[in-house]
Structure 1
Amino acid sequence: MPQAGKDNRRQKGAAAEEAAAIWLQGKGYRVLDRNWRCRFGELDIVAEWKGALIFIEVRSRSGAPGFGMPSESVNARKIVQVRNTAQQYVHSKRLHDSPVRFDVISILLRDDMTVDALEHIPDAF
């Protein structure tokens, strides 16, 4: 039974990341990579906007927002992990001269995995 919960969590995460990517593209961002992995961790979305490299952490929750916004779950440990992973991305892609920004997209999902609310936080950390 634990596997079913993990699969559902993955589906919700994938639905949130897909919604975030579509929303970003609608705002003029160019999505360069999704779920980019290295030994330091994973980057949910890497995008380009107005010449800057944007690393976007996507956080989601489903059901009633009684536990706060998903963005509140980005803690100091996660920030360090995303920054280290981004540094590896910049190095591996040879993008050392690009300005960099770290954003968070917070998504509340309905039970059917459609978006109830989306919040974009530029320069989140």
Structure 2
Amino acid sequence: MSEVSSEEPYTRKQKGADGEKAAQQYLTAQGYRIIECNWRCRSGELDIIAEYGEVLVFIEVRSRSGSPLQGTPEESVDERKIRQVRATAQVYMHMKNAYEHRVSFDVITVMLNEGRSIASLHHIREAF
């Protein structure tokens, strides 16, 4: 990961992109085949869509930096987000005619250091 000077603000969009890049690298190393990233439709966005064996995996990536007092990445996956991801996955499966797959909804949380390096990455399989 590239370092950023302390004078540049570390935007929410950059944090998200860094977290998603780390998640993609992790998943590939674990044997997942990445199909799509940042797939969008009217109901929302799917961060990562991958295959793991015969399973179609929809992965929500949540990134945070700074103090855990602001809340953990896991805590940011609330009921509203779960409903949105499930609804968007339904649209994806319909559009791709992918109903023959078993499906899993995973969450990958990434804690970032101030210099944009990865402090920790946690994969929660079948999170919801």
Q: State whether TM-score is above 0.5.
A: yes
2:45 equivalent in structure 1: 42
1:80 equivalent in structure 2: 83
1:109 equivalent in structure 2: 112
Identity of aligned residues (%): 52
2:16 equivalent in structure 1: 13
The Cα RMSD (Å) is 1.4
Corresponding position: 1:51 with 2:80: no
How many residue pairs match? The answer is 121
Q: Is the 8 A contact 1:65 1:108 kept in 2?
A: no
Gaps of 5+ in 2: 1-7
Distance in 1 of aligned mates of 2:29 and 2:72: 23
Runs of 4+ in 1 over 6 A off after TM superposition: none
In the TM superposition, what whole-angstrom CA distance separates every residue of 1:24-63 from its partner, at most 9, and x where no partner exists? 0000000000000000000000000011000000001002
How far did residue 89 of structure 1 move? 0.5
In the TM superposition, what whole-angstrom CA distance separates every residue of 1:61-83 from its partner, at most 9, and x where no partner exists? 00232334201110000000000
2:29 equivalent in structure 1: 26
Q: Secondary structure at the match of 2:69?
A: helix
Gaps of 5+ in 1: none
TM-score (ref. length: structure 1): 0.92
- Kindly indicate which of the two structures has a greater share of residues assigned to helix: 1
Corresponding position: 1:99 with 2:102: yes
